[in-house]
Amino acid sequence: MAQTKKKIVFSGMRPTGALHLGNYVGALRNWVKLQETHHCFFGIVPWHALSSEYLNPKVIKDFTFEVALDWLAAGLDPQKAVLLIQSEVKEHAELHLLLSMITPLPWLERVPTFKEQQQEIQDKDLNTYGFLGYPMLQTADIILYKAEVVPVGEDQAFHIELAREVARRFNRFYGEVFPEPQILLTEVPKLAGTDGRKMSKSYGNAIYLKDSPEAIRKKISPMVTDTRRKRRTDPGEPDDCPVFTLHKAFVPEAKRQELAAGCRTASIGCLECKKVVIEALITEFETFRQKRTYYEQHPDEVWTIFNEGSARAREVARKTMEEVRQVLGLDFPTGRR
Ligand code: TRP
Ligand code: SF4
């Protein structure tokens, strides 16, 4: 079979601590597949975390480690993908700076997440230069590796569109250096958390990848189901059931159809139905838990993997920045390294 050149992928995750099922189905699960077919760079991005957590920066390192554990345990493989820590590759900052020179302020001010997050997150002052520049830092992350494909959810679509526009603008001003990155839209099933709201770390309703079988059982068993099912004999509607959002992500199609039919005809009870998804989750994350425990006990191995990944990333990043400095005429004779 003719070998076509693998496309370059970049995607990133903010270090916000251990990952939950929503993070898994919305990103990680797809990345694990993508590393087989694409030339992938996956970055944990401390500087993005800092844009909102600047008053509490000390947690970022531990949170980075938690994400690193989850990545490795879930099957991201340093033999297949470049696993890096953004802030360990200083070229991200240099490119961000240079892009900031050519990015019109209104492009950033009209990013929907900018105003939304400022309003939503009341306990932090997000009216900062860094937070406004968040999408620019993201653009730098992506184009620094000349990524062609960026797997993200719908919530990031605007950021990627901006990245395309900035890459295009750079190319128009200085010459073709960057490919225009394309979004690879990840279908993000909306998962409900234990309280029925959207699963989110900040709501305290999340089921974590690292949760033990007992914790999974304890969290799902008491969950609210479709309110029509007051009694065991009342039929329900799976599409209105928070628990069934988990079925949609983790229970195979055939079994799921069977349960849905059973729900609609009241021929199964909610406990029985929940048991299926509980067992599915326990099984799906069995090897995950083993691997995570291993890495928890071998932190040096984890840091080494990310150290080596960051070094590989740096090599690519350096080449790009040499080119960038050259087209800008900033390739000083004094700067030979
Ligand atoms: N902004 C992304 C998020 O909140 C994280 C991110 C940072 C990212 N840099 C990136 C995603 C580059 C894709 C590509 O999820
Ligand atoms: Fe939800 Fe299943 Fe109960 Fe139906 S049977 S309401 S899908 S838990």
pLDDT digits (tens, 9 = 90+) for 203-232: 999 999 999 999 999 999 999 999 999 999
Predicted local distance difference test score (pLDDT) of residue 126 = 87
User: Considering the entire predicted model, what is its pTM?
Assistant: 0.95
Ligand 1 atom nearest to 27, measured from its CA: 15
Q: Which bound ligand lies closest to the C-alpha atom of 263?
A: 2
Q: What mean pLDDT is reported for the chain?
A: 96
Q: Give me the mean pLDDT over the 176-190 stretch.
A: 93
Predicted local distance difference test score (pLDDT) of residue 261 = 98
* Number of alpha helices (DSSP H) and beta strands (DSSP E) in the chain: 16, 5
Residue 282 Cα to ligand 2 midpoint, Å, equals 19
Q: Give me the mean pLDDT over the 149-169 stretch.
A: 96
Q: Is the CB of 226 under 6 A from ligand 2?
A: yes
Residue 229 Cα to ligand 2 midpoint, Å, equals 8
Predicted local distance difference test score (pLDDT) of residue 152 = 96
Residue 269 Cα to ligand 1 midpoint, Å, equals 41
Residue 190 Cα to ligand 2 midpoint, Å, equals 16
Of 50, 15, 234, the C-alpha closest to 129 is 50
pLDDT digits (tens, 9 = 90+) for 231-279: 999 999 999 999 999 999 999 999 999 999 999 999 999 999 999 999 9
Ligand 2 atom nearest to 260, measured from its CA: 7
Which residue among 221, 225, 278 is best mutated to probe the pocket of ligand 2, counting the most ligand atoms within 8 A of its Cβ? 225
The CATH fold assigned to 201-288 is Tyrosyl-Transfer RNA Synthetase (1.10.240)
Are 243 and 274 in contact, with CB atoms under 8 Å apart? yes
Residue 1 predicted with pLDDT over 70:
no
Q: Is the CB of 238 under 6 A from ligand 2?
A: yes
Residue 337 predicted with pLDDT over 70:
no
Q: Is the CB of 251 under 6 A from ligand 2?
A: no
Residue 186 Cα to ligand 1 midpoint, Å, equals 13
Predicted local distance difference test score (pLDDT) of residue 2 = 58
Predicted local distance difference test score (pLDDT) of residue 201 = 93
Q: Cβ–Cβ contacts within 10 Å for residue 142, how many?
A: 31
pLDDT digits (tens, 9 = 90+) for 24-68: 999 999 999 999 999 999 999 999 999 999 999 999 999 999 999
pLDDT digits (tens, 9 = 90+) for 276-333: 999 999 999 999 999 999 999 999 999 999 999 999 999 999 999 999 999 999 999 9
Q: Is the CB of 162 under 6 A from ligand 2?
A: no
Residue 146 predicted with pLDDT over 90:
yes
Are 9 and 151 in contact, with CB atoms under 8 Å apart? yes
Q: Tell me the pLDDT band of 3, cut-offs 50, 70 and 90.
A: low
pLDDT digits (tens, 9 = 90+) for 112-145: 888 888 888 888 888 999 999 999 999 999 999 9
Which residue among 229, 251, 265, 279 is best mutated to probe the pocket of ligand 2, counting the most ligand atoms within 8 A of its Cβ? 229
Which residue has its alpha carbon closest to ligand 2 atom 3? 270
Read off the tokens for 128. 């900062």
Ligand 2 atom nearest to 274, measured from its CA: 8
Residue 174 predicted with pLDDT over 80:
yes
Predicted local distance difference test score (pLDDT) of residue 197 = 96
Which residue among 51, 137, 138 is best mutated to probe the pocket of ligand 1, counting the most ligand atoms within 8 A of its Cβ? 138
Q: Is the CB of 274 under 6 A from ligand 2?
A: yes
Of 128, 139, 197, the C-alpha closest to 170 is 139
CA distances (Å), 111 to each of 81, 99, 159, 299, in order?
30, 16, 8, 38
Q: Give me the mean pLDDT over the 160-174 stretch.
A: 98
CATH number of 8-189+299-328: 3.40.50.620
Predicted local distance difference test score (pLDDT) of residue 115 = 81
As a whole number of angstroms, the distance between CA 1 and CA 11 comes to 28
Predicted local distance difference test score (pLDDT) of residue 124 = 86
Ligand 2 atom nearest to 226, measured from its CA: 6
**Residue spans in the chain of domains classed CATH 3.40.50.620:** 8-189+299-328
**Residue spans in the chain of domains classed CATH 1.10.240.10:** 201-288
